[in-house]
Amino acid sequence: MEFQLGGQNYILSKEEVEDRLKHIEPEDVRKHYAVVEGRRFPVKQALSAAIDRPVTDFITTDAIRIFTNLGFEVDNVKEQKPMVKTTSELRFEEYLKSNGLGYFQFEKEIRGTSRRPDYSLTFMGQEILFEVKEFKSTGDEVKNDNKAHTYDPYLHIREKIGAGRKKFKDLESYCCCLVLWNEEKPLVFLEWPELIYGAMLGDLAIRIPIEPAGQYLVTGESQAVYSAQGGKMVHKEGQQVVVENRTISAVLVLEDLDVGQRRFGVEVRRAEKEGKKLSPVEFFEMFERAKGTEKDYGLKELRISVYENPYARKRPPAEMFRGPYDKRYGLADGYVTLLFAGARILDLERLEASFPERRLEEYLRRDVEGP
């Protein structure tokens, strides 16, 4: 498209505008905006970035005319309902921005489908879609009616995977990731890899071989396996294992890692190992000294743990989600294993291994025997 602005001639295409705004963060929209690849830009900011001229060089009417002629959606924010985002969506955006991935698009319209997953971003030439699901407390999770209740640790996670699968329907050609965040819902344990993969690949079970004569179990060769029973990526039909979901490329667990609490715990165990028996006063003094340091009990780090679906058509790029506290799990040599761990989480885990937590029975024995 050719146009004149302020006495200067321009030739500009829609594709050029999209490319030039790809890595630019939209400012707050006060009135008129243009939608560029699913993101709302103040229309003057968008034109300024597209032609590399200050917003003071032209008026809003010029920008509206040019972007309308280029084929972009242009509208007035006063006519739209305010966009409300969940806590999990805001925290996911926080993670993306702090890890150099702030060029995401929210609820981008995707050609050929009415589905609009929460986020889209292009990384190393591959467009990746994200649907964010959060667990919220309803207040009645723990019943106290003196009746026995069964607890299924996979149930709620599997429900979210099922909801994510519906959201990604018709999007099989994309790399699709489900992001999970726990907003203080009890009895949902997203920090345990065994439960995430159990929800994906089937209940965790123990396989114990039987010796050839069939008279006894070879207990020394037992191993934990994912049984495919109830799994959302694979499931069992009789004795047959059936692949159910190839579209969800990975389940991503977003969480606040209690790094300060864990480092402080190491310091307490270090003191015990050196023979100190901390009095309540000494413990409180140590707690106070730790404030404002890396051992501050309240210090948290936002991180992502990636759980690849071994049966997915596509995988998130290996170069993605490699923050200092991030982890990535996937299939290697036929086993689900840790593929990547950031330098800071490895340092913390090595430190914890030097001063391991005492077993519960040790604390109980100490309490019975006295100080």
DSSP 209: -
Helix (H) or strand (E) holding 94: helix 87-98
Query: In whole angstroms, how far apart are CA 29 and each of 103, 134, 252?
Result: 17, 27, 31
Q: pLDDT at position 14, please?
A: 92
Chain centroid to Cα 127, Å, comes to: 17
Query: Do 306 and 329 contact (CB within 8 A), yes or no?
Result: yes
Please tell me the predicted confidence (pLDDT) of residue 12: 92
pLDDT at residue 362 in the model: 45
Contact call for residues 307 and 197 (beta carbons, < 8 A): yes
- The predicted pLDDT at position 365 comes to 43
Question: Residue 275's pLDDT is what?
Answer: 83
DSSP three-state, residue 142 = coil
Residues with Cβ within 8 Å of residue 287, at least 6 apart in sequence: 264, 297
**Cβ partners under 8 Å of residue 144, min gap 6:** none
- 242 touches 171 (CB < 8 A): no
pLDDT per residue as tens, the chain (371 positions)? 888 888 889 999 999 999 999 888 889 888 899 999 888 899 999 999 999 999 988 899 999 999 999 999 998 876 555 567 899 999 999 999 999 999 999 988 887 787 889 999 999 989 999 999 999 987 766 666 666 667 899 999 999 999 999 999 889 999 999 999 999 899 899 999 999 999 999 998 776 666 555 555 445 555 678 888 899 999 888 788 889 999 999 999 999 999 999 999 999 999 888 888 888 898 899 999 999 999 999 999 999 999 999 999 999 999 999 999 999 999 888 888 999 999 999 999 999 999 887 654 443 444 333 33
Query: Quick check: pTM over 0.75?
Result: no
pLDDT number for residue 83 = 65
Residue with tokens 């490319």: 19
Instruction: Determine contact, residues 234/228, Cβ cutoff 8 Å.
Output: yes
State the pLDDT at residue 212: 59
- The alpha-helical segments, DSSP class H, found in 127-219 are 155-167, 193-201
